Amino acid sequence: MTTNDIVRGFSKLTEEEKRNFIARLCNDSLQAEDRLERFLMEDETERSHFLELSENTISSFHTPYGIAPNVVVNGKVYHVPMAIEESSVVAAASHSARFWAERGGFRVTELSTVKLGHVYFRWFGDPAYIRERWHQLKLFLLERLKKITSNMVRRGGGILSLELLDETISIVHLYKLELKVETINSMGANFVNTCLEDMAEALDLFFTVDDITSEKKLQVAMAILSNYTPECTVTVEASCEIEHLKPIAGRLPVEVFADKLCLAYQIAQNDPSRAVTHNKGIMNGVDAVLMATGNDYRAAEAAAHAYAARDGQYRALSVCSVNNGMLAIKLTIPLAVGTVGGITNLHPLARLSLEILGNPTAKELMGIVASVGLASNFAAIRSLVTTGIQKGHMRLHLSNILNMLNVNNGQREEAELYFSNRKVSFNAVKHFLHEINH
Ligand code: MEV
């Protein structure tokens, strides 16, 4: 067996056989198999539930699970779980959250939770005919949807609107049905897709019954929710008097510091190269909370970046301003999150994260996630306009290198002292250890 051989029937192997098969691809297959096994949960039931979340699972891939304490959102204090492997993100979000907590915290100023989905289809018949029949078709589709939506309606959600949109200007014969839905505390992907697939089937049925004699004039292309959720956004803000920036302004006078902060945010509004990195700093916080609460961070990433380019140019999602001696920061971001359904109930730590947050509603969670995003963003910009980000990274960077090199406690202490005022790099640390060991 070489790495170039096609393997057939892999999914049919037992979990142990899969592990064994994959371990044989590694230099030390015994060690590889042992490692894959060591990272599995001990409890049989938990382990099998966890592994069944995905397919072809042979182990679990661990990510550090930390807490950003004291995130104040609308006057309520949250100690927020974050799952992220990147060093400094949790520390930076924590410092920033604490800073803003002492200045009133974050305020959610706007919130909407509408989800969208589409059925795309081609209509080869007379365009006027489909417009004429639209009212009747709409009633037919909505009536059929009632059996799927009754539970959601009972919980306060359901269908908000259904529209027929003519897309023939961009693609010949193409139309789409646009469904707007309120999904309350669930992210709603399954619910929206079930509604859409039912509509696709009903669409076909409606025109077949309608026009049984003619050749087929309708072709459904696909039915799928949209991860672009410009109507499912949250806006969070924080503000303080410029004077109160003193503890974090470093050597800069507060006015200069505030001005540099605003300039950094302005650059990210105007220059896409900078905007991408600026938004990455927001998503550091956002994704970590989404991961920890079992939410779909890929959906959030895709939506956030599309939203950042909504006027045709990619821009920063957050802004900073100074008015009448007050500095204000603000973030608006699309966030389709759930606190019920999906893996929020299945992943043991996701469930616990929600408990730590006091079992929030989806809207409350949107506010928390966005606040951690803004806290992370502010921490990054603050470092960039004062000390630079490397200083903060160095301690953890050094610790990671020392772990990689398996040093003992004595060597660690000597290295920490030596590198407290020197540049850290893998080679520099290796060289230093070589010197002290010989
Ligand atoms: C690093 O993960 C994130 C930053 O690059 C964000 C930024 O530059 O604003 C520090």
Between the CA of 278 and the centroid of ligand 1 the distance, in Å, is 6
Look up 296 and say whether it is catalytic. Answer: yes
**% pLDDT > 90, the chain:** 87
Look up 330 and say whether it is catalytic. Answer: no
Look up 431 and say whether it is catalytic. Answer: no
164 falls within a domain: yes
Between the CA of 250 and the centroid of ligand 1 the distance, in Å, is 19
182 falls within a domain: yes
Residues 256 and 238 in one domain: yes
Give the model's pLDDT for residue 211: 57
50 falls within a domain: no
Give the model's pLDDT for residue 120: 98
CATH number at residue 377: 3.90.770.10
Residues 235 and 376 in one domain: yes
Give the model's pLDDT for residue 353: 98
349 falls within a domain: yes
Residues 72 and 148 in one domain: no
pLDDT tens for 402-438 read: 999 999 999 999 998 998 888 888 999 999 999 998 7
pLDDT at 10 over 80: yes
Between the CA of 93 and the centroid of ligand 1 the distance, in Å, is 12
3-state SS, one letter per residue, for the chain: CCCCCCCCCHHHCCHHHHHHHHHCCCCCHHHHHHHHHHCCCCCHHHHHHHHCCCCCCCCCCCCCEEEEEEEEECCEEEEEEEECCCCCHHHHHHHHHHHHHCCCCEEEEEECCEEEEEEEEEECCCHHHHHHHHHHHHHHHHHHHHHHHHHHHHCCCEEEEEEEEECCCCCCCEEEEEEEEECCCECCHHHHHHHHHHHHHHHHHHHHHHCCCCCCCEEEEEEEEECCCCCCEEEEEEEEEHHHHHHHCCCCCHHHHHHHHHHHHHHHHHCHHHHHHHHHHHHHHHHHHHHHCCCCHHHHHHHHHHHHCCCCCCCCCEEEEEECCEEEEEEEEECCCCCECHHHCCCHHHHHHHHHCCCCCHHHHHHHHHHHHHHHHHHHHHHHHCCCCHHHHHHHHHHHHHHHCCCCHHHHHHHHHHHHHCCCCHHHHHHHHHHHHC
Residues 197 and 134 in one domain: yes
pLDDT tens for 300-336 read: 999 999 999 999 999 999 999 999 999 999 999 999 9
Give the model's pLDDT for residue 343: 86
**Number of structural domains in the chain:** 3
Domain end: 160, 195, 226, which one?
226
Give the model's pLDDT for residue 26: 97
Residues 129 and 91 in one domain: no
pLDDT tens for 135-159 read: 999 999 999 999 999 999 999 999 9
> Which residues lie with the beta carbon below 6 Å from any ligand 1 atom?
86, 277-278, 280-281, 284, 380-381, 384, 389
Residues 302 and 323 in one domain: yes
Going by CA atoms, what residue is nearest to atom 6 of ligand 1? 281
183 falls within a domain: yes
CATH number at residue 201: 3.30.70.420
Residues 172 and 80 in one domain: no
Between the CA of 389 and the centroid of ligand 1 the distance, in Å, is 8
Give the model's pLDDT for residue 408: 93
Look up 102 and say whether it is catalytic. Answer: no
pLDDT tens for 168-223 read: 999 999 999 999 999 999 999 999 999 999 999 999 999 876 555 556 799 999 99
Domain end: 347, 364, 387, which one?
387
Give the model's pLDDT for residue 108: 97
pLDDT tens for 260-281 read: 999 999 999 999 999 999 999 9
The one catalytic residue in 18, 330, 393, 397 is 393
Domain that holds residue 156: 115-226
Residues 101 and 133 in one domain: no
Residues 142 and 219 in one domain: yes
7 falls within a domain: no
Residues 201 and 128 in one domain: yes
Mean model confidence pLDDT for the chain: 94
Residues 252 and 105 in one domain: yes
Residues 204 and 291 in one domain: no
205 falls within a domain: yes
342 falls within a domain: yes
